[in-house]
Amino acid sequence: MKLSRAKKLALISVILLVFDQVVKILVKTNMHLGEHFNVLGNWFQIYFIENKGMAFGMQFGGEIGKIFLSSFRVVLVVVIFFYLKSLLKRKAPWGVLIGVLLIMTGALGNIIDCMFYGLIFDSSTFMHTASLFPTLGGYAPFFLGKVVDMLYFPLIDTSWPQWVPFIGGQHFIFFRPIFNIADSCITIGSLYLIIFHWKFFSKSMK
């Protein structure tokens, strides 16, 4: 049976979402905060942290900021969904559809954390591994769950030369942020569209 483009996109989105959530749940239920192990040398590690706000571990304005950010993500996903539907009707190039789909799927992956993880997990700490569906209930109300991050790529781990003004001798790591698969989808989709399909969007704006 030949799948339509819409069904192919839906299948890709579901596969990425399931992959994202399975990895997060495995990390959350098997590792305590700050625990890490090497995957490929020292430059690719699984390093478990959680964040209350934006992608790559950034924070945003406490609980009110968290609710605002989560609500914004929901609105963004809805807008992107309808935009994707319009692109399908316009028979946009497959690459454009994939790029937009990656952004939408990534945003949705982190929305799931914010909406449900506080309800279905107890707290992860530096000494305690979280349980799924704990008898005493979750660690946070609906919409106030934390996003699980685990992908860490310290490709360069060194110190600045002593002769560098102000920062000489200080520890330097690149790439320092820790992120997840959903973040990767957003970043890859955005960069892909900017690099390879900017002409499509520039024509659409005329």
SS3 content of the chain, % helix, strand, coil (to 5): 50, 15, 35
Rg (CA), the chain: 19
Q: Is residue 133 part of a domain?
A: yes
User: What is the residue range of 57's domain?
Assistant: 5-30+40-204
Q: Is residue 126 part of a domain?
A: yes
Q: Is 36 left (phi over 0), alpha (psi -120 to 50) or beta?
A: beta
Decide: residue 116, CB within 10 A, 0-12 exposed, 13-18 middle, 19+ buried: middle
Q: Is residue 72 part of a domain?
A: yes
- Predicted local distance difference test score (pLDDT) of residue 58: 53
Q: Out of 20, 113, 122, 183, pick the active-site residue.
A: 183
Q: Is residue 136 part of a domain?
A: yes
183 assigned to active site: yes
pTM, 2 dp: 0.88
User: What is the three-class DSSP state of 36?
Assistant: strand
Q: State which H helix or E strand residue 49 sits in.
A: strand 44-51
Q: Is residue 120 part of a domain?
A: yes
Looking at the DSSP bridge assignments, the partners of residue 51 are 147
Whether residue 88 contacts residue 5, with contact meaning beta carbons closer than 8 Å, is answered with yes
149 assigned to active site: yes
Which residues in 158-186 are b (16+ Cβ under 10 Å) and which e?
Answer: eeeeeeeeeeeeeeeeeeebbbbbbbbbb
From first to last of its 206 residues, the chain has per-residue pLDDT tens of 788 899 999 999 999 999 999 999 999 999 999 999 999 988 999 999 998 765 544 555 567 777 787 888 899 999 999 999 999 999 999 999 999 999 999 999 999 999 999 999 999 999 999 999 999 999 999 989 999 999 999 998 888 888 888 888 888 888 889 999 999 999 999 999 999 998 888 776 65
Q: Is residue 167 part of a domain?
A: yes
If one counts the domains in the chain, the total is 1
Q: Out of 20, 113, 122, 149, pick the active-site residue.
A: 149
- Predicted local distance difference test score (pLDDT) of residue 3: 82
Measured in whole angstroms, the distance separating CA 206 from the mean position of its chain's CA atoms is 32
Q: Is residue 35 part of a domain?
A: no
Q: Is residue 51 part of a domain?
A: yes
